[in-house]
Structure 1
Amino acid sequence: MELNVIGAKPLTVSDEVFGGEFKQALVHQVVVAYQAGGRAGTKAQLSRGEMSGTTKKFKKQKGGGARHGDYRAPIFVGGGRTFAAKPRSFEQKVNRKAYRVAIRSIFSELARQDRLKIVESFGIDTPKTKSMVAKLAELQVSGRVLLVSEDASEAVFLAARNIPYIHVLDVMALNPVSLVGSDHVVMTVEAVKKVEEWLA
């Protein structure tokens, strides 16, 4: 298949990478797994056995109403937690092949919905926000825009950082959450070739 390149001749790409069917269930699984992998999982609480303080029984067993042992019991303010949370990993296993199929599915859907824009280059050599605003207007993209380059230059990154909802990534940093959460994805020709080489 061919993808239109703004201001240049069309680019021939693989049907497998940019023309496949959209696998919604797999994409959802991969996105959830990616977000889960970013969770810190450092929450920690103390059970009654881990609380500091005396374990002495603070009143006699009988004659005082309810029977209690020590003040570290969960029913008392300042006591231990009944089911104390402990540090854990939220990581979910996703096979490498399934991950690549999901990324191909996302790119195919972006191309079908005309949300994937291809350019020869961003044409920004100086880190000027004004230059980036003009470029985005020229490309007719708005909302959440993801700029993908084969090797994101510092000038492009600096020009985009003051514009809300504009993100710059290189091909190696591409992830399903950034792709799914973008209204438009703008890629250079070299970035498309690298993605095709990676996913073919």
Structure 2
Amino acid sequence: MTTADAAHEPSAGTSRRDVLLKVAADLFLRNSYDGVTVDMICTAAGISGPGLYNHFANKQALLLAVVESPLAALHQFARETAEAEPDPRAALEILVDFHIRSVVTSAPTTLVFMKNEHALPEKDRRRIRREMNLYAEEWISIVAALRPDLSEPEVRLLTHTVFSMLNSVATLNKGLDHESIIKTMSTAAIQALTSPGDD
């Protein structure tokens, strides 16, 4: 191993694959798929070009992993939370906190997907959309229990609007520390999802 390679070794507990996923997610969020090259990804990750192909067959496979890996984790967490926490208010607070923390530490899956879905085969796009819908359904069922004043379409609209608000943090953050962002956005999301509207 050369000195240059050693300098780019991932920190303890972080694999090269994880570094590639994080770097690629940031690049795919801020640039179009066609505007991101393998060289750009490797340079930002601090690895050689061949190093990427040890983990992903090509750039398209990397994009797919960037979207699917965190989405699966979000859905699994939401499902387990809904099953384990009988109090819908407590469950919602847990989901909001987890979602915001995922957004401030890595590029939001939804935004990356929407910006680059044209680069994926239709079968992959359908599978990802289905997973996104299943994740949203976990939230919708909880919000519906807390908002009997709303119809089902209204609950869906409200929930998806809050998703958009939370995901926008990744592009709107102007230097606030993570805990300040989490506190501000958690308060806004919980209030939006649970406060009855005026008659």
TM-score where L is the length of structure 1:
0.25
Could you say which structure has the higher strand fraction? 1
